[in-house]
């Protein structure tokens, strides 16, 4: 192991991006390791009826790789901020593209968080959006069992089913069942599936 490889974990994100631009695969791998949990956290709020959460994580990873390869320190922005924007944009783009008929299973994706308001949103609109999200979370919290609330909290933190099962003392299958119940309750609360 070279000295550069052993020291690379101590480099700043911005310095690592500079090394990636010079062709360093070690720097790119270090950034992917650092931001993998963020990728999972960004992908978690999106639920796919009939889809696989791994598909969204893969799309989020493409967003991270784009951020790593296209980061420009001259823009006076932190890499972390740029990476999160690229990851979220890639996820949203995947959800929009999935709405096309050739990706029918992805048509029922449901973002848990409220839609991002554009930069032209007024302070009042931002406040109202945050209030609506808080109300939605409060309503959801009343519908969830104590186990489901704990599972949802850990799920949104980016933990895997196995990690959650260790935290709550239940099997991974039990955690999966809880996540499926939460998804149905979230979708019902947001009015995604209207009852006839």
Q: 146-158 pLDDT, tens per residue? A: 898 898 888 877 8
pLDDT digits (tens, 9 = 90+) for 97-116: 765 544 444 444 555 554 54
Q: Nearest Cα to 83, choosing from 66, 99, 95?
A: 66
Which CATH class, in words, describes the domain spanning 121-196? mainly alpha
Q: Is the pTM of this model over 0.85?
A: no
Please state which of the four CATH numbers 1.10.287.990, 3.40.50.20, 1.10.1740.10, 3.30.300.30 is assigned to the domain occupying 1-111: 1.10.1740.10
C-alpha–C-alpha distance, residues 78 and 88, integer Å: 16
Domain boundaries along the sequence of the chain: 1-111, 121-196
Query: Angle at Cα 125 formed by Cα 113 and Cα 144, nearest 5°?
Result: 30
pLDDT tens per residue, range 39-78: 988 888 775 544 567 878 888 999 999 999 998 877 878 8
Give the span between the Cα atoms of 100 and 35, in whole angstroms. Answer: 30
Q: What is the pLDDT of residues 28-46, one digit of tens each?
A: 999 999 999 989 888 887 7
User: How far is 144 from 33, CA to CA, in rounded Å?
Assistant: 33
Mean pLDDT of the chain: 77
Q: Are strands 110-111 and 46-47 parallel, antiparallel or unpaired?
A: antiparallel
| 46 secondary structure, DSSP code | E
φ, ψ of residue 186 to 5 degrees: the values are: -65, -45
Q: What per-residue confidence (pLDDT) applies to 10?
A: 87
Kindly state the average pLDDT of the residues 162-182. Answer: 89
């Amino acid at each position: 192991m070279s000295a550069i490889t052993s020291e690379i974990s101590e480099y700043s994100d911005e310095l690592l991006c500079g090394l990636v631009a010079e062709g360093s695969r070690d720097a790119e791998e270090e950034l992917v390791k650092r931001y993998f949990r963020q990728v999972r956290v960004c992908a978690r709020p999106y639920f796919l009826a009939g889809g696989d959460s791994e598909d969204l994580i893969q799309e989020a990873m493409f967003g991270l790789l784009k951020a790593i390869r296209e980061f420009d320190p001259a823009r006076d922005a932190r890499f972390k901020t740029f990476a999160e924007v690229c990851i979220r944009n890639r996820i949203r783009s995947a959800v929009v593209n999935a709405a096309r008929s050739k990706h029918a299973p992805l048509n029922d994706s449901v973002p848990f968080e409220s839609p991002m308001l554009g930069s032209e949103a007024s302070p009042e609109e931002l406040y109202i959006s945050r209030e609506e999200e808080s109300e939605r979370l409060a309503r959801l919290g009343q519908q969830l069992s104590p186990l489901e609330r704990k599972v949802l909290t850990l799920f949104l933190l980016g933990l895997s089913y196995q990690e959650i099962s260790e935290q709550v003392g239940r099997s991974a299958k039990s955690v999966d069942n809880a996540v499926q119940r939460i998804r149905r309750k979230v979708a019902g609360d947001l009015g995604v599936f209207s009852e006839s």
